[in-house]
Structure 1
Amino acid sequence: MRRPLFLLLAPALLGAPAAADPAGLEQAWHRCLREAYAHQPPGQSRAGDQRNALDACKEREDAYVAALLASQGRGERGFGARAMGWAASVASSVLDPVTAWLRGLGR
C-alpha cells in the first residue's frame, strides 16, 4: 500500500508528544488512525480499510503501548499495593499446602 506523503511527513510537522505522556501518545495515535482511515482507496472492505490504517500507524501504536507499560512499572506501585501482593503470596504459600493436605485426609 502506498502511503500519502502527508502521512510520512506528519510526525515531523506535528511533533511527537513526550514519551512519558501516554495520553498525548494515545491522542496522536487516534489522530493518525482517523487520517489514515479517511484516505483509504474506495472499493475496499471496511476491515481492509481498518487493517491498512492500523498498519500505517504502527509506530505510534508501539510508542503508546511502550509508554503505558513504562508507566505501569513496578517502581510506581504504592506501599498498599506492595503489601497486598506480599500478603497474597504468603497466604497462597500457606493456604495451598494446608488445603491440599486436608483434602488428602478426606479421601
Structure 2
Amino acid sequence: MKLTTLRSSLPVLNTQRVQVLDTKAGATERIRGRGWMRQRERIGLRDHYKCAACGAIRSDHDVDHRIPLEKGGSNDDSNLQLLCSGPDRCHAKKTAAEAKARAGRGWGS
C-alpha cells in the first residue's frame, strides 16, 4: 500500500533573523571595545570604586549613563557614574525605574 502525503496549508517560514537596530533614531552611539574599557577604568579611579547610589566600595560596579544614550545623553565622563551590579542592586533598580517610566508609569511607581 502506498501512502499519500498531504500538502501543507501553512506558509513556509523564513528562518533568517530579522536585523535589529543597535540604537534608536537620534540616540548617541554607544562606545564599545577597548575605548569603553579604558573609560570604565577611568570612571572607577575617579569615583574611587564607590557606588553613586549606596556608597558601597567594590571593583565590579557597572558604569551607568546618568542621562541614557537613547534620551540624548553623552558618553562624556560627566554623564557616567558607578552603580552596584547584580540583581537587587542599585543598577538593576535604576534600570527597572527607567523601564517603568518608558511604559508611562512614572519614576518610583
TM-score, normalised relative to structure 1: 0.23
The structure in which a higher percent of residues are strand is 2
Higher relative contact order (CA 8 A, sep 6+): 1
